[in-house]
């Protein structure tokens, strides 16, 4: 089962399973910022009112808009 | 001349390496997107004169915003590429490295932030990396200058990458995985104070109150420095200068030259604000009124920039900016714009789409008061009472938000979401901050003084040929009817095209009521940024969109001015 990181609780850790949609340039940008299949990430903050999500990968924090975050799928159950 | 280009991901210290190599002064900070245009400098590398280019940071050679387009463009001029890599983040940085290697240009790798990597438990085997990719590798800590000598010495070793067939994107990541596994060892470390601080400042519940405190502290610092400099340095200096100004005035005697250099003598005295002479108002306004706050503002801004706080603020304010058609990163043009709209407008290049840049630049020119504008607002309304000053700033803030909401609906185009890397907190370096502030002060003076002189000159000429009187007569009925302020205020608005701060001296003698003065000041802030910003808007948006943007500014100014008139003057 895969689910988007928007469904994770703040503070939880999960492994990225897949990146979805929006063409190759979008996925390239995600990957060049460290967001790649197999990496584990931690959700640092999630803003209310469909605001951005902050994740931590390799000790670096990245702020993502909600729509972008929805396309990052993680293995559920972690 | 040999052309050397510095390439690398955003916020990894390329500009610091650049200024170490060339001795050129460039603005460096701790957030991605500080460099949005390339800088050019010269360096003598082992007796050979070379031209160096500092390209904006980019994650890959397929650009996603204006700044990254510039980077891809600059790369084409390169005879030699210095690929600067963040040693604390090897894996991710190598993607650009592999892309650059396919360009088949002589290359050298620089592992910058070497000290930070060591501190955070990252070990990179330089020799192994060299062998693996077939290019020379130098470790540096550009901030302290460590390793720069070695970089210069080994620049001659730069060579074209070994011929390999171009890799697909997926293959690149596989290759990167192999390389980093072979050359890098990471020892896990415990979260430190900076990590906890980082989390606290980026979570909405704890971050919002901290942000409010930081902003208040910033304003406090600006005022503290500004007012301190005025009362202990600039006022005394200008009092020392006064006898000299009198002497010049007496020497010249009445006539055109005195009117131009010294200006009007008001009640037997030179009034630095109102006299309107080149040697009185022309130097007092930029130096005595605005410069002290410029110093304060840029000191405070440097602290925010170099600590790495701005990207956190961008995250916290993303929700708001998203509704205005932009995203949190738009806080950077806004903050820089509070100092001077010109660098503010330039930094809007970090925004991805034309729509976002149009909104950001229009709101900047409309409702983000630069330090000179703010000094004008304080200068005009200070004597009427603080609440009127606050009122003007509150109106500007409301206009920013409402105009943003409207423009978001009306301007066509896409609004991509925020996608921003948050740099680690770094301790600001005192000498870097002083250097940066000094640089920006010099820019301010170079920018402000010519336009102020031009403005003063123009005021004198336009008054003496009767043009001002004519314009005042033409606009008087409209001004009276719609805005409730006398026609004479038109002269101040005209001067505002050049410099807003100069308008203070033209509004004060009109003896307006508090309400009229608030309307006049708000109008003066809204209707047009200043000629220097306008020129940059044309460059960034093109003439057509700049005219559209200007029309929005004028319309908003008249609308808001009219509304304020009815509520304040009646």
C-beta neighbour count of B465 within 10 angstroms: 10
Residue B214 pLDDT level (bands cut at 50, 70, 90): very high
- Start-to-end CA distance of chain B, whole Å, equals 68
Q: By C-alpha distance, which of B80, B86, B448, B315 is closest to A46?
A: B315
> Over 90: is that where the pLDDT of B274 sits?
no
Flag whether pLDDT at B294 surpasses 80: yes
Give percent of chain B with pLDDT exceeding 70: 100
Size of interface A-B (CB pairs under 8 A): 100
A77 vs B490: which has the higher pLDDT: B490
Number of domains in chain A: 1
The whole-chain average pLDDT of chain B stands at 90
Rounded CA-CA distance B381/B67 in Å is: 40
pLDDT at B379 over 60: yes
> Domain limits of chain B?
2-186, 204-416+435-568
Of B59, B202, B328, Cβ closest to residue A44: B202
| Cβ neighbours of B424 in A, within 8 Å | 60
The confidence band for B438, taking pLDDT boundaries of 50, 70 and 90, is very high
A41 DSSP β-pair partners: A14, A57
Which residue range(s) make up the domain with A42?
A: 2-75
Could you give the ipTM of this predicted complex? 0.93
pLDDT value, residue B456: 85
Across the interface, whether the CB atoms of A63 and B420 are under 8 A apart is answered: yes
Cβ–Cβ under 8 Å, residues B50 and B24: no
Percent of chain B at pLDDT exceeding 90: 49
Asked if A34 lies within 8 A of B202 by C-beta distance, the reply is no
- Asked if residue B447 has pLDDT above 60, the reply is yes
CB contact under 8 A, A63 and B169: no
- Residue A74 banded pLDDT, cuts 50, 70, 90: very high
- CATH code at A69? 2.30.30.90
Residues of B in contact with A45 (CB under 8 A): 199, 202-204, 207, 315
User: Model confidence at A77, in pLDDT bands (50, 70, 90)?
Assistant: low
Which CATH number is B2-186 given? 3.40.50.300
Q: What are B471-530's pLDDT values in tens digits?
A: 889 989 988 889 888 888 888 888 888 888 888 888 888 888 999 999 999 999 999 888
- pLDDT for A78 beyond 60: no
**Is 80 exceeded by the pLDDT of residue B399?**
yes
pTM over 0.90: no
Q: Computed from CA positions of residues B224, B227, B231, B232, in that sequence, does the dihedral angle turn out positive or negative? A: positive
Report whether pLDDT(B259) > 70: yes
Which residues of B make CB contacts under 8 Å with A?
A: 9, 59-60, 62, 64, 88-89, 91-92, 95-96, 120, 169, 173, 198-199, 202-204, 207, 311, 314-315, 318-319, 322, 327-328, 416-422, 424
The answer to whether the Cβ–Cβ distance between A65 and B419 falls below 8 Å is yes
Distance (Å, whole) CA B141 – CA B143: 6
Give the least confident one: A22-26, B41-45, B142-146, B301-305: A22-26
Least confident of B52-56, B389-393, B443-447, B522-526: B443-447
Give pLDDT tens digits for B54-73.
988 898 888 888 888 888 88
Residues near B79 by Cβ (< 8 Å), separated by ≥ 6?
A: B2, B3, B4, B105, B106
Which DSSP string do the residues of B370-384 spell out, in sequence order? -HHHHHHHHHHHGGG
């Amino acid at each position: 089962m895969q689910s988007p990181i928007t469904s994770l609780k703040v503070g939880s850790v999960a492994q990225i399973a897949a990146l979805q949609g929006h063409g190759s340039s979008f996925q390239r940008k995600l990957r060049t910022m460290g967001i790649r299949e197999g990496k584990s990430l931690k959700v640092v903050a999630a803003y209310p009112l469909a605001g951005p999500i902050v994740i931590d990968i390799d000790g670096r924090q990245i702020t993502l808009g909600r729509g972008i975050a929805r396309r990052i799928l993680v293995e559920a159950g972690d | 001349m040999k052309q050397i280009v510095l390439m690398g991901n955003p916020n990894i210290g390329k500009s610091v390496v650049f200024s170490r190599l060339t001795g050129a002064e460039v603005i460096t900070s701790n957030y991605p997107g500080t460099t949005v245009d390339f800088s050019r400098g010269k360096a003598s590398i082992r007796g050979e004169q070379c031209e160096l280019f500092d390209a904006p940071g980019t994650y890959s050679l397929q650009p996603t915003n204006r700044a990254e387009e510039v980077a891809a463009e600059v790369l084409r001029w390169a005879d030699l590429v210095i690929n600067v890599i963040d040693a604390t983040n090897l894996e991710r940085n190598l993607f650009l490295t592999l892309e650059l290697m396919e360009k088949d240009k002589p290359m050298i790798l620089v592992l910058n932030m070497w000290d930070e990597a060591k501190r955070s438990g990252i070990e990179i085997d330089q020799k192994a990396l060299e062998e693996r990719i077939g290019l020379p590798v130098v470790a540096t800590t550009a901030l302290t200058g460590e390793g720069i000598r070695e970089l210069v010495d080994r620049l001659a070793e730069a060579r074209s990458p070994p011929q390999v067939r171009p890799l697909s994107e997926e293959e690149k990541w596989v290759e990167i995985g192999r390389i980093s596994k072979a050359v890098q060892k990471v020892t896990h470390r415990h979260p430190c104070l900076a990590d906890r601080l980082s989390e606290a400042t980026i979570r909405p519940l704890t971050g919002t109150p901290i942000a409010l405190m930081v902003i208040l502290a910033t304003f406090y610092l600006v005022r503290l420095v500004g007012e301190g400099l005025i009362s202990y340095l600039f006022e005394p200096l200008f009092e020392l200068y006064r006898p000299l100004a009198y002497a010049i005035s007496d020497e010249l005697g009445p006539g055109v030259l005195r009117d131009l250099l010294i200006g009007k003598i008001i009640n037997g005295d030179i009034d630095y604000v109102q006299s309107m002479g080149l040697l009185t108002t022309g130097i007092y306004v930029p130096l005595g009124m605005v410069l002290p706050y410029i110093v304060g503002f840029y000191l405070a801004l440097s602290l925010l920039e170099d600590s790495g706080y701005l990207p956190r603020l961008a995250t916290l304010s993303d929700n708001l900016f998203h509704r205005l058609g932009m995203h949190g990163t738009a806080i950077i043009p806004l903050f820089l714009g509070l100092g001077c709209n010109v660098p503010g407008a330039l930094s809007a290049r970090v925004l991805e789409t034309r729509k976002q840049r149009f909104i950001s630049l229009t709101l900047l020119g409309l409702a983000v008061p630069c330090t000179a504008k703010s000094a004008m607002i304080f200068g005009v309304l200070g004597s009427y009472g603080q609440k009127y000053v606050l009122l003007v700033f509150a109106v500007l803030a409301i206009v920013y938000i409402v105009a943003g909401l409207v423009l978001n609906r009306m301007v066509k185009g896409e609004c991509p979401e925020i996608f921003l890397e948050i740099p680690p907190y770094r301790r600001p370096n005192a000498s870097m901050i002083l250097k940066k502030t000094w640089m920006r002060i010099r820019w301010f003076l170079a920018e402000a003084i010519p336009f102020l002189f031009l403005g003063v000159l123009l005021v004198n000429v336009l008054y003496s040929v009767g043009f001002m009187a004519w314009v005042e007569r033409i606009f008087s009925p409209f001004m009276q009817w719609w805005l409730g302020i006398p026609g004479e205020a038109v002269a101040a608005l005209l001067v505002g095209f050049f410099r807003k701060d100069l308008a203070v001296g033209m509004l004060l003698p009109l003896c307006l009521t508090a309400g009229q003065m608030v309307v006049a000041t708000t109008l003066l802030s809204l209707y047009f940024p200043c000629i220097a910003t306008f020129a940059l808007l044309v460059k960034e948006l093109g003439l057509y969109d700049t005219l559209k943007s200007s029309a929005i500014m004028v319309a908003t100014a008249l609308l808001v001015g009219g509304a304020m008139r009815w509520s304040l003057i009646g």
